[in-house]
């Protein structure tokens, strides 16, 4: 296996720390120490902790969306792919012991003025929203306007299921949201 370079080690270490500890609870010195890099090397790649967080969110977005698509691709129709999002949520949140959404977590932990991080959270949520909407647009039974409206309603179910399962440390919010999604799309 190829050894990770300095930049990749910083991102991998920060990703784990930001996700599991939180943005405010993670310091630059901890990232440097746990990544096993020199401070000067870190600053060659990143100007700030915020820039590291942006790199974390960009990498997390690519991984998360890829895994979501792989999970729902097995479904028989676009509508079933949308419903299948909840199966992916259940699998993912159970695997991370209900730690929750990296974007929800970081945005609630964010001090004022960190617009680059906020922009990444908005980008991710809008991308997911667009994926859901586009899948519903493919269904002949929904007009484009109706598909977009339903897509937004599904997104509220998704986001609510994520945060409530994190709070409850249980899958019941995801199961309940999936049932609501099925009824919504009938």
pLDDT of residue 109 exceeding 90, the answer is no
Question: How buried is 135 (Cβ within 10 angstroms: 0-12 exposed, 13-18 middle, 19+ buried)?
Answer: buried
Cα distance between residue 176 and residue 54, in whole Å:
33
Judge whether 126 lies within some domain.
yes
pLDDT of residue 2 exceeding 70, the answer is no
- Tell whether pTM > 0.75: yes
In the prediction, which pLDDT does 38 show? 94
DSSP one-letter string for 25-84? T--HHHHHHHHT--HHHHHHH-SSHHHHHHHHHHHHHHHHHHHHHHHHTTSSSHHHHHHH
Q: Which residues contact 47 (CB under 8 A, 6 or more apart)?
A: none
Number of domains in the chain: 1
Domain of residue 145: give its range.
Answer: 49-185
Mean pLDDT, rounded, of the chain? 95
Q: Report the CATH number that the domain containing residue 179 is assigned in CATH.
A: 1.10.357.10
């Amino acid at each position: 296996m190829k050894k990770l370079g300095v930049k990749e080690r910083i991102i991998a270490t920060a990703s784990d720390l930001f996700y599991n500890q939180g943005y405010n609870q993670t310091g630059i010195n901890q990232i440097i120490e746990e990544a096993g890099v020199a401070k000067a090397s870190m600053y060659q790649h990143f100007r700030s902790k915020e820039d590291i967080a942006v790199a974390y969110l960009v990498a997390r977005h690519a991984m998360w969306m890829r895994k979501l698509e792989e999970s729902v691709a097995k479904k028989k129709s676009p509508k079933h792919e949308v419903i299948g999002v909840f199966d992916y949520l259940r699998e993912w949140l159970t695997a991370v012991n209900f730690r929750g959404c990296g974007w929800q977590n970081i945005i609630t932990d964010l001090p004022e003025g960190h617009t680059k991080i906020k922009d990444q959270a908005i980008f991710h949520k809008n991308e997911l929203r667009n994926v859901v909407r586009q899948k519903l647009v493919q269904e002949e039974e929904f007009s484009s306007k109706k598909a977009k409206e339903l897509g937004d309603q599904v997104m509220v179910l998704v986001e609510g299921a994520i945060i409530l399962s994190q709070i409850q440390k249980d899958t019941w919010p995801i199961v309940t949201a999936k049932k609501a999604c099925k009824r919504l799309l009938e």
